[in-house]
Amino acid sequence: MMFRKLAGSLLVAAAAAVATSPALAEYPERPITMIVAFSPGGGTDVLARSFAPFIEKYLGKGASFTIINKPGAGGEVGFTAVAKSKPDGYTIGFLNLPNLLAIPIEREARFSLDSFTPLANMVDDPGAINVHVDSPFKSLKDLVTYAKENPGAVTIGTSGVGGDDHLAVLSFAKQAGIKIAHVPFPGAAPNRTALLGRHITAGAFNVSEAIQYAQEGKIRILGVMAEKRWELAPDAPTFKEQGFDVIMGSQRGMGAPAGFPEEAKNKLSEAIGKAVNDPEFQEKAKKIYLPLSFMPSDEYAAFLKQKDDQFRKMWKEEPWRK
Amino acid sequence: MFDAFLTALPLVLTWPVILAMVIGTIGGISIGALPGLTATMGIAVLIPITFALDPLPALGMMAGIYQGAMYGGAIPAILLRIPGTPAAIATTLDGYPMAQKGEAAYALRVSLVSSALGGIASAIVLMLLSPPLAVFALEFGPGEYFMLAVFGLASISVLLGDNAIKGLLSACFGLFVGIVGLDPMTGHERFTFDSMHLVSGFDIIVLLTGLYAIPPALIMGEKALRKGVSGDVLRLKKTQMRLREWLKFVRIWIRASVIGIVIGIIPGAGGNVASFLSWNETKRVSKNPKAFGTGIPEGVAAAECANNGDSSSALIPAITLGVPGNAVAAVILGGLLVHGMQPGPALFRENPEIIYGFMIQMLLTAFLMFVLGRYGARIFIQVLRIPPVLLATMIVPMTVIGVYSVQNSVFDIWMCLGFGVIGYAMEKLDISVAPAVLALILGPMAESNLRRVLLIGQGDVSLIFQRPISLIILALTVLVLSYPLLRYLRQGRRRQTV
């Protein structure tokens, strides 16, 4: 009873405080919601949770972020939530490429690139095709040979329809002339777990999500979808080295709904830039294997536009969802 | 490994860490006791605060909240038939009838002891068996998940009992609610009516609080109108329990702990399912299954022991594989990450004192919960003294605040109130709401995993029947489904011989 009354009055007081929020006098004056469109434990979630405190530090004034996971349908659930949120400066979200751009191309979505205010890019994480360490496949060639002999028998898990893993797998299958079974999972962590449990032949997930398990000798990275080998995984060959022109990755940045207040946009973009260059964060990023690549707001907007054109062209040539 | 625990123990037994665990446990019990507020939310809110702390006090507080909330959920479940957390649904089945009989104090006592024992058993398993059990978690592929969901759904159908049609209506309602939102495999919209609020589907808390918290408030208001305002007399029977009386629970506790621990290890299932399966299993093996649901302490013990039994074991895949077993484990992972610790195999090598310390904390907070819960129960039970009309006017705003805080969505509040009206109608028509809530958890799990099986097998479902674990679950499902029939046949034979 006493507890209930006390807790009750506290909650009412808190609700009242939230309800009375005037214009952005001293941004930020309440917690900022940060939407992550993927399940907990995946790459984006790891980034959000370890990065938020650093942006908080550079935003100052006791700024704080509330991280909310809204996984599902390759990120559409979360992106829609960001795009449709009130542009009041208090909801931002992680924008994941190519999902963000692929979804409105494939279907009628409630957002397009124009629904967002790009804030900054932070990470460029190349994709990879990985197998269990006990798998007989030692190279992409082995996988292709087997797939040619057994069409459709190779199952490749991805973190959702229309994600970079999915597009890369399709592009790879097309180039190699093989037929594979695509198995979508709700995010990278369940995909990796399914690979560790040998429920799928191969798993397509990013190198940052594969590296720790590769170092522990639990999985083998068959190919990295980047121009060059990654410094933290020098033994993992690229697709290009093995004769496949597949360059795909997931870029993770931050965006806000269109019509986001200019002041909030500038403050956030600046804080993100400072946070990415913070030596402590750089050290931390290395510890949790994050390939950082910062782009400020304008550069990021141009990059998004260029990628959007590229994917639209890809879709015209061959749609990845029929 | 014991060296590691001995190194970590002195670090855990320092005043700041102990204080953090005590505060966490008290906070956890209170959070759990308030409908709509869950351990997940409590810990998520706490993470930014813990950033200023050292890792061990921070994790100690999280451990306390986690353990405390699992027990706290039972308090309103017993006193008001409103489960404080989804894991406490099964507790309402026997807990509330006990309170109606004037045995509220006894029910709270049983639930506290059972919760503490489940929590202790689970923590010990976490400490001693993490690496081998993580391997077990990996064995769960789409086929196994599908069968587990089917097993859960089959258990629901048995729960329906004498009122099968009404129960099926309720379960189908839950399954339908689970369909709403984006198709997990293709991203197509289902029953979203072009409303973006429906794209993500319904949060379990919205349905739970709507169906469970609103109808009692409406009914209390109704009664108050009829009877006028009057304070209930607090009828509490003396409950001096002797050791001998506790012994009858031992087998139930063992069974419930095992169920809780096993379900906990499997990522995605969690305490909601564990407590219900445990209650059902205890009922099934009981000599007097009809008594379950009428207010017997065995039912409370089975449910409460299992929902704490999953608490530590859900952390096993989280800290060994980086795969959270439930929503709480996911936020705890977040807590580890902000302290610069990447979950996975390397964690045990690089930060042994932290990770083994955290395991010790899970054990200690289970004991703390027992000590603090005894005092807490005395305070909480006073809620029965509040006149229904006042209580009803307190429950509704508390629920609304809880639901809002899940996704900070006003739309969710309307949905919750809408479900409240449906729940009130179900109550009047004598339709149980438990199948609806459980179907919402299990339906989507069954659907997406069946479709993954079909993708992997190129349209062939035989994958489900080729693996040992799914075969075992299949056998259990058949057993659960045929049990009522077997009992019926046995009774028939007895009747004939008589």
Mutate to test the interface with A, among B46, B266, B323 (most CBs of A within 10 A): B323
CB B320 within 8 A of CB A190: no
Mutate to test the interface with B, among A134, A183, A208 (most CBs of B within 10 A): A183
- Cite the beta strand spans of chain A per DSSP E: 32-36, 65-69, 91-97, 116-126, 128-132, 155-158, 181-184, 202-204, 219-224, 249-257, 292-295
Mean pLDDT of chain A: 83
Give the model's confidence band at B159: pLDDT under 50 very low, under 70 low, under 90 confident, else very high. Answer: low
Residue B435: pLDDT over 90: no
Q: Which residues of B touch A2 (CB under 8 A)?
A: 379, 382
Q: In terms of Cα–Cα distance, which of B21, B59, B23, B40 is closest to B341?
A: B59
CB B396 within 8 A of CB B214: yes
The reply to whether residue A199 touches residue B187, judged by beta carbons under 8 angstroms, is no
The reply to whether residue B385 touches residue A197, judged by beta carbons under 8 angstroms, is no
pLDDT digits (tens, 9 = 90+) for B306-365: 989 988 888 888 887 777 767 778 778 777 776 767 777 677 777 888 889 999 999 999
CB A214 within 8 A of CB A236: yes
Residue in this structure with the two tokens 């809620």, named with its chain if needed = B383
How many CB pairs below 8 A link A and B? 162
The reply to whether residue B456 touches residue A1, judged by beta carbons under 8 angstroms, is no
The Cα B213–Cα B211 span in angstroms is: 6
The reply to whether residue A189 touches residue B323, judged by beta carbons under 8 angstroms, is yes
Would you state the pLDDT for residue A134? 94
CATH class of A128-247: alpha beta
CA angle A258, A263, A269 (to 5 degrees): 75
Q: Which residues of B touch A153 (CB under 8 A)?
A: 458
- Chain A residue at shortest CA distance from B449: A185
Give the model's confidence band at A253: pLDDT under 50 very low, under 70 low, under 90 confident, else very high. Answer: very high
Torsion angle of C-alpha atoms A227, A232, A233, A239, degrees rounded to 10 = -10
- Chain B residue at shortest CA distance from A7: B30
Q: What percent of chain B is modeled with pLDDT above 70?
A: 88
The Cα B443–Cα B437 span in angstroms is: 10
Mean pLDDT for the stretch of residues B453-465: 86
Q: Among the listed ranges A152-161, B181-190, B221-230, which one has the minimum average pLDDT value?
A: B221-230
Residue A107: pLDDT over 80: no
The reply to whether residue B458 touches residue A199, judged by beta carbons under 8 angstroms, is no
Would you state the pLDDT for residue B230? 47
Highest mean pLDDT among B232-236, B475-479, B482-486: B475-479
* Choice between A263 and B333, residue whose per-residue pLDDT is larger: A263
Burial B429-450 (b: 16+ CB within 10 A, else e): eebbbbbbbbbbbbbbbbbbbb
Torsion angle of C-alpha atoms B400, B401, B404, B407, degrees rounded to 10 = -140
- Tell me which residue in B183, B337, B407 faces A49 most closely, judged by beta carbons: B337
Within this chain, domains A28-124+250-317 and A128-247 share the same CATH topology? yes
Q: Which residues of B touch A40 (CB under 8 A)?
A: 324, 327, 330-331, 333-334
Q: Where are the alpha helices (DSSP H) in A150-295?
A: 164-176, 188-196, 207-215, 262-276, 279-287
The reply to whether residue B142 touches residue A7, judged by beta carbons under 8 angstroms, is no
Q: Which residues of A touch B200 (CB under 8 A)?
A: 70, 72, 77, 81
Would you state the pLDDT for residue B192? 78
Q: Which residues of B touch A184 (CB under 8 A)?
A: 184-185, 452, 455
Neighbours of B311 (CB within 10 A): 35
CA angle A106, A109, A114 (to 5 degrees): 100
Work out the minimum CA distance from A234 to partner chain B, whole angstroms. Answer: 20
Helices (H) and strands (E) in chain A, counts: 11, 11
Residue in this structure with the two tokens 């729940």, named with its chain if needed = B423
Residue B65: pLDDT over 50: yes
The reply to whether residue B338 touches residue A182, judged by beta carbons under 8 angstroms, is no
The reply to whether residue B407 touches residue A64, judged by beta carbons under 8 angstroms, is no
CB A73 within 8 A of CB A160: yes
CB A35 within 8 A of CB A90: no
The string of DSSP codes covering B182-246 is: E-TTT--EES-TT-GGGTT---HHHHHHHHHTHHHHHHHHHHHHHH-S-PPP---------HHHH
Work out the minimum CA distance from A51 to partner chain B, whole angstroms. Answer: 8
Q: Which residues of B touch A49 (CB under 8 A)?
A: 47, 334, 337-338
Q: Which residues of A touch B104 (CB under 8 A)?
A: none
The reply to whether residue A50 touches residue B187, judged by beta carbons under 8 angstroms, is no
Q: What are phi and psi of A244, to 5 degrees?
A: -120, 125
- Chain A residue at shortest CA distance from B143: A199
Q: In terms of Cα–Cα distance, which of B47, B19, B29 is closest to B332?
A: B47
Q: Among the listed ranges A33-37, B14-18, B459-463, B482-486, which one has the minimum average pLDDT value?
A: B482-486
- Tell me which residue in B140, B346, B383 faces A212 most closely, judged by beta carbons: B346
CB A272 within 8 A of CB A52: no
- Chain A residue at shortest CA distance from B448: A185
- Tell me which residue in B138, B184, B455 faces A196 most closely, judged by beta carbons: B138
The reply to whether residue B342 touches residue A287, judged by beta carbons under 8 angstroms, is yes
Is A252 in a helix, a strand, or coil? strand
Give the model's confidence band at A94: pLDDT under 50 very low, under 70 low, under 90 confident, else very high. Answer: very high
- Environment class of residue A235 by beta-carbon count within 10 Å: exposed (0-12), middle (13-18) or buried (19+)? exposed
Would you state the pLDDT for residue B49? 64
- B373: amino acid identity, one letter: G
Q: Among the listed ranges A161-175, B105-119, B277-291, B375-389, which one has the minimum average pLDDT value?
A: B375-389
pLDDT digits (tens, 9 = 90+) for B106-149: 899 899 999 999 999 999 999 888 877 777 878 888 888 899 88
Is the CATH number 3.40.50.150 carried by domain A28-124+250-317?
no
Please give the DSSP secondary-structure letter assigned to residue A237: P
* Paired tokens of A276: 């990415």
Would you state the pLDDT for residue B255? 93
pLDDT digits (tens, 9 = 90+) for A267-302: 899 999 999 999 988 887 887 777 888 999 999 999
Mean pLDDT for the stretch of residues A300-307: 91
Domain locations in chain A as residue ranges: 28-124+250-317, 128-247
pLDDT digits (tens, 9 = 90+) for A174-204: 889 999 898 988 778 788 889 998 999 999 9
Residue B257: pLDDT over 50: yes
The reply to whether residue B51 touches residue A53, judged by beta carbons under 8 angstroms, is yes
Mean pLDDT of chain B: 83
Residue A15: pLDDT over 50: no
The reply to whether residue A40 touches residue B331, judged by beta carbons under 8 angstroms, is yes
